[in-house]
Structure 1
Amino acid sequence: NRQDETAVLSQLDAWGVDVVFVCSFQHILRPEFFTHFQACLNIHPSLLPSYRGPEPIAWGLLEGADSFGVTLHLVDEGIDTGAIVCQAEVKRPFVPLMFLVEQKLAAALPPLIEKTVTQLASGNLEIKPQNGGFYRPAPTLANRRR
């Protein structure tokens, strides 16, 4: 809620935070929050614009994707629609289990964060707008029975 968001902003300001990364955040941030910082970035476990929304790894597994990915993108008013900062692609594990995909994505993430922080520090953040794609709600049991 707005009160909690104001309290969080106050604390982050007290700490001198100017860049925020969010990951698997279940709430839509208000513009007053994500425009408050030099950058507010989301770590999304898909190659956006594919698989916007919750549970993108589950969707990829359900659809038999050959590869998965992680995207760092700017937070905007949409859901996973902000400009893309950087991405990394990983191949589907031999045994296609969610935790194995998550491990591969976690291993691919540190260089992306380092690249992003370096670009932010130099004032040269490279971004590209997203084109296409659509939002997918979390898969249901019916989706899993396909």
Structure 2
Amino acid sequence: MQMMSWLVWGSIGVLLGAVGLGVYWSRDGFDPESIRGATVVITGCSSGIGEEMAYQYARLGAKILITARRENRLKEVVAKAKSLGAQEAHYVAGDMGKAEDCERTIQTAKEKFGRLDYLVLNHAGSSVGSK
């Protein structure tokens, strides 16, 4: 009888441990407050996913620097990002397939923010040998 009791309690202990680990591993560890005031550079922000990412970071109170080739669209995205709550929003028009535009973007981030916390690469880029 004592052996049966030990097996039941042991099984319950293992089951509770498994449930506890499952809950721990499945929890969402993201803290939106960790983004407030963070500096973020996002490429490919004139439309689509990049534009939406800029808005999401803006809603979380980040300082954003966005880049894409179409300057007129970047101005619109910056204005909307500011209205959504970005602490700061700036843009650099350029082609991330060109080394000088990449360097200018990172240099602008250093000048505007003094640091870079997140870099979100959302551009098609270029491949070796492409024409």
TM-score (norm 2): 0.36
Look at both structures and tell me which one has the larger radius of gyration over its CA atoms.
2
- Between structures 1 and 2, the one with greater helix share: 2
